[in-house]
Amino acid sequence: MFNFLRPGGGAQVQRINPKDAVAKAAKGEITLIDVRDMNELRASGKAKGALHVPLSVVKMKCDPSSPECLKALSVEKPVVVYCASGARSQAAGQMLAQMGYQQVFNLGGLYDWHAAGGPIERA
Domain ranges of the chain: 3-121
Look up the pTM and report it. Answer: 0.90
In this predicted structure, what is the pLDDT of residue 89? Answer: 97
The answer on pLDDT for 4 being more than 70 is: no
In this predicted structure, what is the pLDDT of residue 11? Answer: 63
CA distance to 50, 67, 74, per residue, from 112 (Å): 14, 33, 24
The answer on pLDDT for 5 being more than 60 is: no
Q: Which tens digit of pLDDT belongs to each residue from 95-107? A: 999 999 999 999 9
Burial call 15-50: b when 16+ CB within 10 Å, e when fewer: ebebeebbebbeeeebbbbbbbeeebbeeebbbeeb
- CA neighbor of 35 nearest in space, from 10, 70, 66, 8: 70
Q: Which CATH superfamily is domain 3-121 in?
A: Rhodanese-like domain (3.40.250.10)
Q: Which tens digit of pLDDT belongs to each residue from 10-69? A: 567 999 999 999 999 999 999 999 999 999 999 999 999 999 999 999 999 999 999 999
The answer on pLDDT for 6 being more than 70 is: no
Q: Specify the higher pLDDT residue, 9 or 11.
A: 11
Distance CA 109, CA 60 (A): 23
| Consecutive H or E run containing 80 | strand 79-83
In this predicted structure, what is the pLDDT of residue 12? Answer: 77
Distance CA 115, CA 123 (A): 19
